[in-house]
């Protein structure tokens, strides 16, 4: 008690507590690993499922690289070529789009359940932080990938998002007011969304984001392996299941099933069938913006609030949500899992309602105000 | 001659032996129908042998039965390459499972002392015949391509002829030796069936589904504990085998199905001449579009004025899109007084391009977030998400000789004058001089 630890000592203590590398053994990872059995056990599969969809993204993404051309004059034509002329090209492309949506869905369930099961509690902070970063990276993948086909909806939606970055400047004090504009131009690369933007998004989507993703994923998985599987409920259950071979067999079984489902979906149903066709014509810089410009469904949770509420409220909300995500391990340190489950359920309910009924809510609001 | 014996005499001997033998055995010793189990004597080898064997043989027999029963359906399906490949692969996988199982069954009969005590010659003979049967079947599948399509074509009619008592071995006369061997051995197996443990195939334990659960009670708790332990281990082993077989088979099938498609993705693409031409013209069209955009850009950098339209070509209700000096989209209308109205078409909310059609109140619409703009003032209507007006753009009217008659800057200041008679023939330009004034 009398001796105060130096800052450096505290840092090393923190790290050795969070990354107990001495636990890294075959026994801990395979023969002795146990998975708790209780009502929420199904949630232990969600991370693995997300990983499966990421692997599908990786493989199909590399496949698409063989034919895709990232220039404003050729991008759309090359995507059309892949879709209509390359053998199984439609399949690869559909797999890529379907599996991206599946990945984000599983990821959201994974985050919410991990939160409800207090998977972030000490010593698992690093798992949570790296996971949060993976969440943001995944959304960035979605955003950058959306532009690449260079059709009307892609380019115009990207324009809208980039322009709204500039809007933030209105609410910043004097010296910072121009900062968002610089950021926008840094991302956009030229006065309007054009070749420079496409090249930047391509580089981000294909090289930079994947590299960051791999590193973060490595840390995430390492941390998961070191700490084992979290107990998940407040009163730890006595029943466990051996990870090897039982849990992993079921995990693979689920992977096979999930792959089969996505594969059949990709074979039978083009992802684009959810939008009206003119949106998928090549972007025309001289024409008007077509109706129905919308982001992908997984951005509805921020898109519809932006449509309905004043801009600054949404921005404030997003800032708090983002900060809350990373500060979760300290904010909810002493919260019981029961309360956490309620918070997660509310968040899930919000996501479900805004994703399914966002359009209806938006129309109701517009009907009242106009 | 040997064909006559193997495929006409032997079948009838086998069928008679099968029918009479089964009935006799059922009448004399009905309880032996479910066969003596050796699981109590030896269970480690058995799990590895019996499970693969039964999984494999059930699938294979079902396949054979389907092909004999519905030859027409089967032939149609087998014409589909995907189905044929799937059947061949599943069949081959199951045959290997059977082979593996039978080999272990044979081995355990020779290495386990307890088993040797209860093993008679017929058990060994049956196992050997099964081994031959599987090997010949596998040989047919592997050596003769598309063996699965012979069954409905030749075997079906042959079996039919046997059952209709009009035996005709001619259907089989041109078959390769492995096929003949496979068929002959099948008859031998049917002939021996009533006299061996194979008879249990005829006693499907359906009543297990309906009867009440039974609990085995042991006379000492120690032996009960020992039994429970053994049972748990055996269940675990069987679960593992089942899961591995299932996962392995589905992994093979899945990868076969997907790799078949993925591999083609990298082949040279087969396009018809028209398709190639269509693609090329599309590409050229878009290249021209990009080239034109560059030209516009260069034009705006180097020229002091840029032609928009003949004034008489402009409409009062449908705007004409053009590109302003900042390379942003803009719209040109004609006012009631005959003069042009030029304004930016880049929505002041989030930058979409506004539509070109004027509504009854003289407004254009931005479709992204529903903002209406009055084209005379440029200002958005109340309630629009856009708050700032669309800026107007300065213009100049020139006659055909290139002389500027009337010009107006972005704020609406005019210089020069134009006779009403000159309006129809005048040409509309945007001019660099005013370009800096657009916000």
Across the interface, whether the CB atoms of B265 and A92 are under 8 A apart is answered: yes
Neighbour tally for B132: CB within 10 Å: 16
Indicate if the pLDDT at residue A36 is higher than 70: yes
Query: CB count, 10 Å around CB of B203?
Result: 13
> Domain check: are B52 and B175 in the same one?
yes
8 Å CB contact of A156 and B240? no
Interface test mutation site (partner A, options B236, B286, B373, max chain A beta carbons within 10 A)? B286
A366: which chain B residues are within 8 Å (Cβ-Cβ)?
A: 370
Helix (H, G, I), strand (E, B) or coil at B340: strand
B192 and B64 housed in the same domain = yes
More confident residue, B32 or B102: B102
Q: Which residues pair with A36 in a beta bridge?
A: A240
Would you place residue B131 in the very low, low, confident or very high pLDDT band (cuts 50, 70, 90)? Answer: very high
B350 CB neighbours in chain A (<8 A) are 159-160, 163-164, 167
The residue among B255, B280, B301 that closes a domain is: B301
Q: Read off the DSSP letter of residue B353.
A: B
pLDDT tops 60 at residue A278: yes
Same domain, B60 and B137: yes
- pLDDT for B149-207, tens place per residue? 677 778 888 888 898 888 888 888 888 888 899 999 999 999 998 888 888 887 777 77
Q: Is B258 an 8 Å CB contact of chain A?
A: yes
Which of B290, B352, B370 lies closest to A160 in CB terms? B352
Flag if A163 and B279 touch (Cβ within 8 Å).
Answer: no
pLDDT of res. B292: 87
Q: What is the ipTM of this complex?
A: 0.78
DSSP state of B212: P
Higher pLDDT residue, A208 or B44? A208
Candidate from A260, A287, A293 with C-beta closest to B321 = A287
Q: Any CB–CB contact under 8 A between A367 and chain B?
A: no
Q: Evaluate whether B406 touches B386 at the Cβ level (below 8 Å).
A: no
- The number of domains in chain B is 4
> How close B4 comes to chain A (CA, Å)?
50
Smallest CA–CA distance, residue A164 to chain B, in Å, is 6
Contact between B293 and A289 using a beta-carbon 8 Å cutoff: no
* Pairwise CB contact (< 8 Å): A167 & B251: no
Which residues are registered as beta bridge partners of B395? B408
Question: Residues B7, B99: one domain?
Answer: yes
> A291 vs B275: CB contact, 8 Å cut-off?
no
Instruction: Note whether B378 and B408 are same-domain residues.
Output: yes
pLDDT digits (tens, 9 = 90+) for B220-272: 888 888 888 888 888 888 888 888 888 888 888 888 888 878 888 888 888 88
CA distance A13 to chain B (A): 43
Enclosing H/E stretch for B333: strand B329-334
What's the token pair of residue B75?
């032939």
Chain B residue closest to A72 (CA)? Answer: B290
The CATH number for B82's domain is 1.20.950.20
Instruction: Find chain B residues with C-beta within 8 A of A89's C-beta.
Output: 265
Interchain contact, B265 vs A87, CB within 8 Å: yes
Residues of chain B with Cβ-Cβ distance to A287 below 8 Å are: 321, 353
**CB proximity list for A115: less than 8 A, separation 6 or greater:** A328, A340, A343, A344
Whether B437 has a pLDDT exceeding 50, the answer reads no
Report percent pLDDT > 90 for chain A: 52
Residues in chain B with CB shorter than 8 Å from the CB of A286 are: 321, 323, 329
**Cα A228 from Cα A247, distance rounded (Å):** 13
Q: What is the pLDDT of residue A351?
A: 95
Nearest-CB residue to A286 (from B257, B321, B367): B321
Best probe of the B interface among A77, A87, A96, by most B CBs < 10 A, is: A87
- Say yes or no to pLDDT of A203 above 80: yes
Residues B190, B55 share a domain: yes
pLDDT digits (tens, 9 = 90+) for B334-378: 888 888 999 998 888 888 888 888 888 889 988 888 889 998 888
For chain B, percent of residues with pLDDT exceeding 90: 16
Which pLDDT score, from 0 to 100, does residue B433 have?
Answer: 64
Place of tokens 């077509």: A290
Q: Chain B residue closest to A65 (CA)?
A: B266
State how far the alpha carbon of B50 is from the alpha carbons of A48, B45, B92, B241, in Å. Answer: 33, 8, 18, 10
Is there a single domain that holds both residue B348 and residue B421? yes
* H-run or E-run covering B408: strand B404-408
Residues B228 and B215 reside in one and the same domain = yes
Quote the CA–CA distance of A16 and A28 in Å, as a whole number.
17
Question: To the nearest whole number, what is the mean pLDDT of chain A?
Answer: 89
* Structural tokens at position B339: 């003069």
Judge if B264 and B283 occupy the same domain.
no
Contact B271 A85 (CB under 8 A): yes
Q: Which chain B residue lies closest to A253 (C-alpha atoms)?
A: B247
Who among A72, A191, A259 is closest to B327 (CB)?
A: A191
Nearest to B264 among A72, A88, A260 (CB): A88
Q: Which of A298-307, B215-224, B322-331, B396-405 bottoms out in mean pLDDT, i.e. has the lowest?
A: B215-224
Residues of chain B contacting A260 with CB distance shorter than 8 Å:
254
The C-alpha atoms of residue A141 and residue A145 are separated, in whole angstroms, by 6
Under the banding of pLDDT at 50, 70 and 90, the label for residue B439 is: very low
Peptide bond before residue A312 is cis, with ω within 30 degrees of 0: no
- Classified as helix, coil or strand, B41 is coil
CA dihedral A194→A196→A197→A200, nearest 10 degrees, is 160
Mean pLDDT of the region A350-354: 95
Nearest by CB: A256 against B254, B266, B367: B254
Highest mean pLDDT among A212-216, A259-263, B208-212, B295-299: A212-216
The mean pLDDT of A3-12, rounded to a whole number, is 83
Q: Are residues B274 and B261 part of one domain?
A: no
Instruction: Report the residue from B247, B279, B370 with minimal CB separation from A81.
Output: B279
Tell me which residues of chain A, numbers 14 to 43, contact chain B at a CB-CB cutoff of 8 Å: none
User: In Å, how far is A9's CA from the nearest CA of chain B?
Assistant: 48
B246 Cα to chain A: minimum distance (Å): 9
B275 touches chain A (CB under 8 A): yes
Q: Is B310 helix (H, G, I), strand (E, B) or coil?
A: strand
**Which of A159, A180, A156, A170 lies closest to A280, judged by CA?**
A156
Across the A:B interface, residue pairs with CB atoms under 8 Å apart total 110
Residue B256 and residue B222 in one domain: yes
Q: DSSP code of A233?
A: S
> pLDDT tens digits, residue range A64-95?
999 999 998 899 989 999 998 998 999 999 99
Q: Which two tokens stand for residue A105?
A: 């869905």
CATH number of B433's domain? 2.102.10.10
C-alpha neighbours within 13 Å on the C-beta side of residue B153: 12
Which residues in chain B are closer than 8 Å to A63, comparing Cβ atoms?
A: 262, 265
Angle of helix B10-28 versus helix B177-192 axis, rounded to 10? 30
Nearest to A160 among B251, B323, B350 (CB): B350
- Residues of A in Cβ contact (< 8 Å) with B293: 285
Residue A290: its chain B contacts at CB < 8 A?
367
| A202 near B CB under 8 A | no
More confident residue, B385 or A150: A150
Give the separation between CA A370 and CA A365, rounded to whole angstroms. Answer: 8
- Cβ of A289 under 8 Å from any chain B Cβ? yes
Nearest Cβ partner for B368 among A80, A160, A287: A160
Give the list of residues 6+ apart from residue A2 with CB closer than 8 angstroms, or none.
none
Taking contacts as CB-CB distances below 8 angstroms, the residues of chain A near B370 are 366, 370
Confidence of residue B60 (pLDDT cuts 50, 70, 90): very high
Question: Which range marks the domain in which residue B240 is found?
Answer: 206-269
* Average pLDDT over every residue of B389-411: 86
Q: What are phi and psi of A230, to 5 degrees?
A: -70, 155
Instruction: Find tokens 């302003």 and name the residue.
Output: B324
What is the model's pLDDT at position B248?
Answer: 85
Q: Does the beta-carbon distance from B352 to A289 stay under 8 Å?
A: yes
pTM of the model as a whole: 0.78
Same domain, B132 and B250: no
Look up residue A31 and give its DSSP letter: I
Q: Is B243 on the interface with A (CB under 8 A)?
A: yes
Q: Which of B189, B204, B219 is the last residue of a domain?
A: B204
Cβ atoms of residues B387 and B394 within 8 Å: no
């Amino acid at each position: 008690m009398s001796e105060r630890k130096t800052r450096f000592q505290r840092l090393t203590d923190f790290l050795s507590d969070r990354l107990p590398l001495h636990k890294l053994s075959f026994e801990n990872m395979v023969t002795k690993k146990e998975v708790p059995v209780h009502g929420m056990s199904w949630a232990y599969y969600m991370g693995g499922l997300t990983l499966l969809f990421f692997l599908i993204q990786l493989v199909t993404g590399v496949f698409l690289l063989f034919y895709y051309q990232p220039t404003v004059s050729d991008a759309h034509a090359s995507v059309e070529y892949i879709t209509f002329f390359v053998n199984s090209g439609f399949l690869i492309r559909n797999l890529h789009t379907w599996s991206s949506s599946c990945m984000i869905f599983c990821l959201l369930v994974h985050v919410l359940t991990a939160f409800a099961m207090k998977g972030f509690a000490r010593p698992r902070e690093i798992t949570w932080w790296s996971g949060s970063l993976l969440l943001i990276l995944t959304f960035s993948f979605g955003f950058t990938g959306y532009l690449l086909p260079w059709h009307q909806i892609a380019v115009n939606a990207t324009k809208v998002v980039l322009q709204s970055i500039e809007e933030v400047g209105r609410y910043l004090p004097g010296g910072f007011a121009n900062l968002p504009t610089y950021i926008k131009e840094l991302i956009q690369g030229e006065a309007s969304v054009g070749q420079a933007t496409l090249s930047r998004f391509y580089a981000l989507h294909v090289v930079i984001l994947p590299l960051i993703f791999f590193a973060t994923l490595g840390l995430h998985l390492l941390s998961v392996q070191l700490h084992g599987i979290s107990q998940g409920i407040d009163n730890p259950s006595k029943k466990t299941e051996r990870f090897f071979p039982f849990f992993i067999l079921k995990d693979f079984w689920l992977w096979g099933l999930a792959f089969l489902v996505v594969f059949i979906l990709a074979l039978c149903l083009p992802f684009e069938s959810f939008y009206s066709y003119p949106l998928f014509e090549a972007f025309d810089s001289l024409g008007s913006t077509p109706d129905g410009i919308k982001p992908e469904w997984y951005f509805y949770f921020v898109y519809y609030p932006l449509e309905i509420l004043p801009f600054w409220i949404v921005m404030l909300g997003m800032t708090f949500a983002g900060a809350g995500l990373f500060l979760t391990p300290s904010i909810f340190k002493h919260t019981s899992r029961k309360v956490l489950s309620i918070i997660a359920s509310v968040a899930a309910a919000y996501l479900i309602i805004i994703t399914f009924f966002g359009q209806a809510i938006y129309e109701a609001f517009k009907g009242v105000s106009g | 001659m040997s064909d006559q014996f193997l495929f006409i005499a032997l079948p009838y001997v086998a069928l008679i032996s099968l029918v009479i033998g089964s009935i006799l055995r059922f009448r004399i010793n009905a309880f032996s129908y479910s066969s003596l189990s050796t699981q109590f004597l030896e269970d480690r080898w058995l799990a590895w042998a019996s499970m693969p064997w039964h999984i494999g043989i059930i699938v294979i027999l079902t396949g054979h039965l389907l092909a004999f029963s519905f030859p027409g359906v089967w032939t149609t399906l087998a014409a589909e390459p995907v189905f044929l490949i799937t059947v061949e692969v599943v069949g081959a996988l199951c045959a290997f499972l059977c082979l593996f199982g039978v080999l272990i069954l044979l081995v355990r009969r020779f290495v386990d002392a307890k088993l040797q005590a209860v093993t008679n010659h017929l058990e060994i003979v049956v196992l050997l015949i099964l081994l031959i049967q599987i090997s010949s079947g596998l040989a047919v599948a592997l050596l003769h391509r598309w063996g699965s399509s012979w069954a409905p074509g030749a075997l079906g009619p042959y079996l039919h002829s046997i059952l209709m008592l009009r035996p005709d071995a001619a259907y089989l006369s041109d078959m390769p030796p492995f096929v003949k061997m496979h068929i002959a051995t099948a008859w031998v197996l049917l002939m021996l069936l009533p006299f061996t443990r194979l008879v249990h195939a005829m006693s499907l334990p359906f009543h297990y589904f309906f009867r009440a659960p039974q609990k085995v009670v042991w006379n000492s708790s120690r032996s009960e504990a020992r039994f429970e332990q053994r049972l748990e281990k055996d269940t675990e082993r069987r679960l593992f085998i089942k899961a591995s077989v299932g996962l392995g088979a589905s992994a093979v099938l899945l990868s076969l199905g997907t790799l078949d498609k993925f591999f083609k993705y990298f082949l040279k693409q087969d396009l018809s001449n028209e398709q190639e031409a269509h693609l090329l013209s599309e590409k050229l069209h878009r290249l021209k579009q990009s080239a034109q955009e560059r030209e516009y850009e260069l034009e705006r950098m180097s020229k002091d004025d840029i032609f928009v339209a003949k004034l008489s070509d402009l409409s009062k209700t449908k705007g004409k899109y053009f590109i302003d000096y900042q390379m942003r989209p803009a719209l040109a209308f004609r006012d009631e007084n005959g003069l042009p109205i030029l304004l930016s078409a880049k929505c002041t909310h989030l930058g979409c391009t506004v539509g070109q059609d004027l509504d009854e109140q003289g407004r254009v619409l931005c479709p992204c977030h529903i903002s209406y703009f009055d084209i005379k003032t440029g200002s958005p209507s109340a309630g629009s998400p856009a708050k700032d007006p669309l800026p107007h753009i300065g213009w100049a009217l020139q006659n055909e000789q290139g002389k500027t008659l009337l010009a107006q800057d972005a704020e609406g200041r005019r210089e020069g004058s134009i006779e009403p008679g000159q309006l129809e023939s005048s040409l509309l330009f945007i001019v660099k001089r005013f370009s800096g004034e657009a916000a």
